[in-house]
């Protein structure tokens, strides 16, 4: 009797294994999450596509890959149009909140020279925290209202913090935490997924067509694509943060854009920044 029950138990277990094997897709090599391997392949693709562009120069987007644009840029950079924002940003950064504290009190190293570590995965809350989100959380912790994300004071503070980090290579950490890997995967999926009426993915323009012309623009390669943020764009006539750029690129393909600092945008920023590890921060930047 005992033997019979044991046999049935074993059979049931075998059935369950068989059932699971049918229901679950096989864990093939493609499906395993291996961000380090993704990063090597991503960087190798761009180094191969643009063999004469030095790694840090990818931070300069269209100027890294187009000679004529680069010339115009060198002229513009004699009086960088982001200088006003930079000055404002320094002042804002140093002005105490009503409670007497400052932004410096919220950040490691008092906020100086840390841009390259953002976004980071916060193991306490289980989410990706961008620099801009951290700036607003700092304000809220100190009883101030959060700033609008895409322009203005946020872009200015961002510009100042980036400027103190120039030359420091992106050093985005991916902690051994399944939630961090899940966030990375979500960002990656968002980057490669086709969407909108035009059915384009981010990669359609910034990987496959990187360096090519689209109307008046030269498409920036995705490697190092966030290293110069925030940027002053002549066609915006003002500064813009990463959120502003993500939203306008979503609009370009006529797909629904998300709210600034939406979880998906933060995961996307995490993925793109991690792909760019090793590219030095060059922000704030200027663009045509
Ligand atoms: C239809 C093509 C197209 C698609 C699709 C697209 N973009 Fe863009 N993107 C542009 C153009 C044009 C610019 C401005 C020129 C440039 O800098 O590349 C730009 C600029 C950017 C920049 C700033 C680059 C720089 O150096 O200033 C970032 C970052 C960016 N895009 C991210 C994305 C992301 C993320 C997605 C997917 C959500 C996306 N883009 C989808 C066309 C596109």
Average pLDDT over residues 239-265: 93
Please tell me the distance from the alpha carbon of residue 82 to that of residue 284, in angstroms, as a whole number.
Answer: 7
| Per-residue model confidence (pLDDT) at position 31 | 58
Catalytic residue ranges:
249
Q: Which residues, 6 or more positions from 237, have their beta carbon under 8 angstroms from its beta carbon?
A: none
Average pLDDT value for the chain? 91
What is the 241 CA–ligand 1 centroid distance (Å)? 13
What is the 108 CA–ligand 1 centroid distance (Å)? 31
| Per-residue model confidence (pLDDT) at position 26 | 44
Least confident piece of the model among 13-17, 58-62, 67-71, 249-253: 13-17
Whether pLDDT at 5 is above 50: no
- pLDDT (tens digit, 9 = 90+) per residue, 188-202? 999 999 988 889 999
| Per-residue model confidence (pLDDT) at position 51 | 97
Please tell me the distance from the alpha carbon of residue 149 to that of residue 97, in angstroms, as a whole number.
Answer: 19
Which tokens hold the place of 168?
Answer: 């420091």
- pLDDT (tens digit, 9 = 90+) per residue, 159-194? 999 999 999 999 999 999 999 999 999 999 999 999
Whether pLDDT at 112 is above 90: yes
- pLDDT (tens digit, 9 = 90+) per residue, 6-51? 444 555 544 444 444 444 444 444 457 899 999 999 999 999 999 9
Q: Which residues, 6 or more positions from 72, have their beta carbon under 8 angstroms from its beta carbon?
A: 288
Q: Indicate whether residue 161 lines ligand 1 (CB < 6 A).
A: no
Give the distance, in angstroms, between the CA of residue 172 and the centroid of all CA atoms in the same chain: 10
Q: Indicate whether residue 246 lines ligand 1 (CB < 6 A).
A: yes
Question: Which residue's CA is minimally distant from atom 7 of ligand 1?
Answer: 249
What is the 236 CA–ligand 1 centroid distance (Å)? 14
Percent of the chain with pLDDT over 70: 89
Q: Indicate whether residue 249 lines ligand 1 (CB < 6 A).
A: yes
For ligand 1, mutation pick of 220, 251, 253 (most atoms within 8 Å of CB): 220
Whether pLDDT at 211 is above 90: yes
């Amino acid at each position: 009797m005992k033997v019979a029950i044991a046999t049935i138990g074993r059979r049931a277990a075998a059935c369950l294994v068989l059932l699971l094997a049918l229901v679950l897709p096989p864990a093939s090599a493609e499906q395993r999450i291996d961000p380090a391997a993704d990063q090597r392949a991503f960087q190798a693709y761009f180094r191969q596509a643009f063999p004469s562009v030095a790694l840090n120069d990818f931070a300069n987007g269209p100027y890294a890959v187009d000679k004529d644009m680069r010339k115009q840029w060198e002229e513009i950079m004699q009086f960088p149009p982001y200088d006003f924002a930079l000055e404002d940003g320094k002042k804002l950064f140093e002005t105490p909140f009503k409670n007497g504290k400052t932004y410096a009190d919220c950040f490691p190293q008092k906020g100086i020279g840390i841009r390259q570590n953002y976004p980071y995965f916060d193991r306490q809350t289980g989410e990706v925290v961008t620099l801009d989100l951290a700036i607003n959380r700092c304000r809220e912790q100190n009883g101030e209202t959060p700033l609008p994300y895409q322009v203005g004071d946020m872009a200015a503070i961002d510009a100042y913090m980036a400027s103190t980090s120039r030359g420091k290579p992106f050093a985005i950490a991916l902690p051994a935490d399944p939630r961090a890997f899940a966030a990375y995967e979500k960002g990656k999926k968002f980057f490669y997924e086709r969407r909108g009426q035009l059915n384009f993915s981010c990669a359609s323009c910034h990987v496959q067509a990187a360096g090519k012309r689209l109307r008046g623009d030269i498409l920036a390669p995705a490697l190092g694509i966030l290293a110069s943020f925030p940027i002053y764009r002549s066609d915006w006539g003002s500064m813009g943060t990463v959120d502003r750029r993500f939203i306008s690129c979503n609009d370009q393909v006529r797909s629904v854009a998300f709210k600034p600092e939406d979880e998906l945008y933060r995961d996307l920023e995490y993925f793109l920044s991690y792909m760019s590890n090793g590219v030095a921060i060059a922000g704030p930047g200027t663009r045509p």
